[in-house]
Amino acid sequence: MTTHTELPSMQEFLLDVAGKKIFVAETGEGPPVLLLHGGGPGASGVANYARNIAELAKEYRVIVPDLPGYGRSAKGVDGADPFGYLADTVRALLDRLGLDKAHLVGNSYGGACALRLALDTPDRVDRMVLMGPGGIGTTRALPTPGLNSLLNYYSGDGPSRLKLEKFIRNYLVFNAADVPDSVIDARYQDSIDPEVVAAPPLRRPKSLRALWKMDFTRDKRLARLPVPTLVLWGAADKVNRPSGGPMLAGRMPNCDLYEVANTGHWVQFERAELFNRLCADFLAGRR
User: Where in the sequence numbering do the catalytic residues fall?
Assistant: 265
Under 8 Å between Cβ of 24 and 72: no
Count CB neighbours of 203 within 10 A.
15
Distance CA 167, CA 173 (A): 9
Backbone angles phi, psi at 65, to 5 degrees: -85, 155
Under 8 Å between Cβ of 175 and 234: no
Type of residue at 26:
E
**With 0-12 CB in 10 A as exposed, 13-18 as middle and 19+ as buried, what is 286?**
exposed
Q: Could you give the C-alpha distances from 238 to 11, 173, 278, in angstroms and in order?
A: 35, 8, 23
- Which among 97, 79, 133 is positioned nearest to 242, based on CA atoms? 133
Count CB neighbours of 33 within 10 A.
26
Classify each residue of 111-140 as buried b or exposed e, where b means 16 or more C-beta atoms within 10 Å of its C-beta.
bbbbbbbbbeeeebbbbbbbbbbbbbbbee
